[in-house]
């Protein structure tokens, strides 16, 4: 048997023995998944948070200006931009199963409770981060690597923080 026939037979045997290749979800499937996951309202919530943050960082610009950042057109653009990621990481069968889950009572509860759950989890994470940072800064100060002001101590006659 020649080498070409052996390669063809080997490839056929590998395909026959292995699992069926998963098909890529269609754009319509991914859009349906995003719809049942209520992605557009999640974008709206993100937009509100971002607007408040930008209002604090740029007080000279009214907060209302930023509230249009993820408008209806922006939501559509963002959804369209995200579709390839879902197509890359999930098969059509998996997306169908996710759609089924998110349409279930438990899936709908997850969608409804996720914003509050994530907000609470983010607060917990921020509190933990503040405590952890304070502990690590205290340890660095104790070791002489940071001054009482939380900055690197001056080196050699220079009063500027080290490394700057």
pLDDT of residue 42: 85
Whether 81 contacts 27, CB under 8 Å: no
Which structural domain, as residue segments, surrounds residue 55?
23-103
Q: Of 10-14, 90-94, 137-141, which range is least confident?
A: 10-14
Residues 30 and 87 in one domain: yes
Whether 100 contacts 94, CB under 8 Å: no
Residues 55 and 127 in one domain: no
In this predicted structure, the answer to whether residue 20 has a pLDDT above a threshold of 90 is no
Residues 98 and 52 in one domain: yes
Q: Is residue 122 part of a domain?
A: yes
Alpha-carbon distance of 96 to 110, in angstroms, equals 17
How many folded domains does the chain comprise?
2
In this predicted structure, the answer to whether residue 154 has a pLDDT above a threshold of 70 is yes
Residues 46 and 113 in one domain: no
Q: Is residue 76 part of a domain?
A: yes
Residues 131 and 90 in one domain: no
Residues 29 and 59 in one domain: yes
pLDDT of residue 157: 44
In this predicted structure, the answer to whether residue 19 has a pLDDT above a threshold of 70 is no
């Amino acid at each position: 048997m020649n080498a070409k026939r052996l390669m063809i037979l080997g490839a056929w045997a590998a395909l026959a023995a292995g699992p069926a290749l998963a098909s890529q979800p269609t754009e319509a499937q991914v859009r349906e998944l995003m719809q049942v996951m209520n992605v557009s309202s999640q974008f709206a919530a993100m937009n509100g948070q971002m607007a408040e943050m930008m209002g604090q960082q740029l007080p000279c610009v009214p907060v209302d200006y930023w509230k249009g950042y993820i408008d209806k057109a922006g939501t559509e653009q963002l959804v369209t931009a995200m579709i390839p990621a879902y197509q890359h990481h999930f098969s059509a069968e998996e997306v169908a199963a996710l759609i089924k889950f998110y349409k279930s009572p438990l899936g709908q509860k997850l969608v409804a409770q996720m914003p509050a759950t994530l907000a609470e989890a983010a607060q917990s994470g921020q509190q933990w981060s503040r405590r952890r940072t304070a502990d690590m800064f205290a340890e660095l100060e104790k070791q002489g690597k940071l001054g009482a002001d939380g900055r690197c101590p001056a080196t050699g006659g220079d009063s500027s923080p080290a490394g700057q």
